[in-house]
Amino acid sequence: GPLAQRPLLEVRLGELPTWISTCNLSAQGLLGAVQKAWSSYCAKYIHVRRGGPAGISMLLAGYCLLSYGWNYQHLKRHRWRKYH
């Protein structure tokens, strides 16, 4: 199909800059992309008939990585401090 309608995993490496240039990078386009990603995540891992702990554990792992990234500068400053 057309390059603009292909999902990211089906785009070849040489076609990646052209595919990115066809994406809608406005605020409304980015919000739509986030909404589509969230709904596909929920459809695949959360709203299933016989779900397991995979969906929730991925959310928790993502939150842990995100919070570590937010606090990295604070942790970096205080890691060599001695408390004695």
Write out pLDDT tens, residues 18-51: 988 888 889 999 999 899 989 988 888 888 787 7
**Rounded to two decimals, what is the model's pTM?**
0.56
**Tokens encoding 15:** 């076609």
Report how far residue 34's alpha carbon sits from residue 24's, in angstroms, rounded to the nearest whole number.
Answer: 12
- For 14-41, b/e burial (b = at least 16 CB within 10 A) is eeeeebeeeeeeeeeeeeeeeeeeeeee
CB atoms within 10 A of CB 10: 11
CB atoms within 10 A of CB 55: 16
Q: Where are the domains of the chain?
A: 3-77
- What is the Cα gyration radius of the chain? 19
